[in-house]
């Protein structure tokens, strides 16, 4: 009989940055410092950051480190005088 593994689902905000020069996307999760990935398409970058975040959290749990919960993140435009 197959063993059923329960997985907890956490929601994190990911920030996607398009690289118009080279193409593709770089993506990070501010609540998980250092959790960064990339992809040639938005969908690929999204799948890659989901995998990276899952591995990031797995390592934290194995090391018995507290896993960060999503903090209040506000993404807003900023006007800059140049």
pLDDT tens string 45-74 = 999 999 999 999 999 999 999 988 887 888
Domain edges within the chain: 15-62
For residue 9, is pLDDT > 80? yes
| 69 burial level (CB within 10 Å; 0-12, 13-18, 19+) | exposed
For residue 76, is pLDDT > 90? no
For residue 22, is pLDDT > 80? yes
- Rg over CA atoms, the chain: 16
Q: What is the pLDDT of residue 38?
A: 97
Q: Is the pTM of this model over 0.75?
A: yes
Q: What is the pLDDT of residue 73?
A: 83
Mean pLDDT, range 29-34, rounded to an integer: 94
């Amino acid at each position: 009989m197959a063993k059923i593994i329960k997985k907890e689902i956490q929601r994190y905000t990911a920030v996607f940055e398009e690289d118009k020069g080279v193409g593709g996307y770089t993506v990070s999760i501010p609540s998980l410092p250092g959790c960064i990935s990339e992809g040639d398409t938005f969908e690929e970058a999204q799948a890659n950051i989901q995998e990276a975040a899952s591995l990031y959290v797995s390592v934290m749990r194995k090391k018995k480190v507290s896993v960060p919960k999503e903090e209040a993140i506000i993404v807003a435009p900023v006007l800059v005088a140049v």
